[in-house]
Amino acid sequence: MEFEQIIEQPFSDPALLQTALTHSSYANQHKNMEYNEKLEFLGDAVLQLAITEYIYRNFPQKTEGELTKLRALIVCEASLHQVAMDWNLGSYIRMSKGEELTGGRERAALLADGVEAVIAAVYLDQGMETAKKFVVKSFMEIIDMADRNEIVLDYKTSLQEILQENGEIDIRYELIRYEGPPHRRKFYSKVVIDSITMGKGEGFSKKESEQLAAKDALGKYVKAEDTHE
Can you say which residues are annotated as belonging to the binding site for Mg(2+)?
Answer: 40, 113, 116
Active-site annotation, residues: 44, 116
**CA torsion, points 174, 176, 179, 182, in degrees to nearest 10?**
20
Task: Detail the residues annotated as belonging to a binding site.
Answer: 40, 113, 116
On whether the CB atoms of residues 115 and 13 are closer than 8 A, the answer is no
Question: Taking each helix axis from N to C terminus, what angle separates 128-147 and 37-58, rounded to the nearest 10 degrees?
Answer: 60
In angstroms, the CA 102 to CA 184 distance is 6
204: DSSP letter:
S
Helix ranges (H only) for 75-107 are: 77-87, 97-101
Rounded alpha-carbon distances, angstroms, from residue 135 to 15, 43, 55, 104: 20, 10, 12, 24
Q: If you compute the radius of gyration of the chain from its CA atoms, what whole number of angstroms results? A: 20
* Of 112, 122, 146, nearest in space to 14 by CA: 122
On whether the CB atoms of residues 191 and 217 are closer than 8 A, the answer is yes
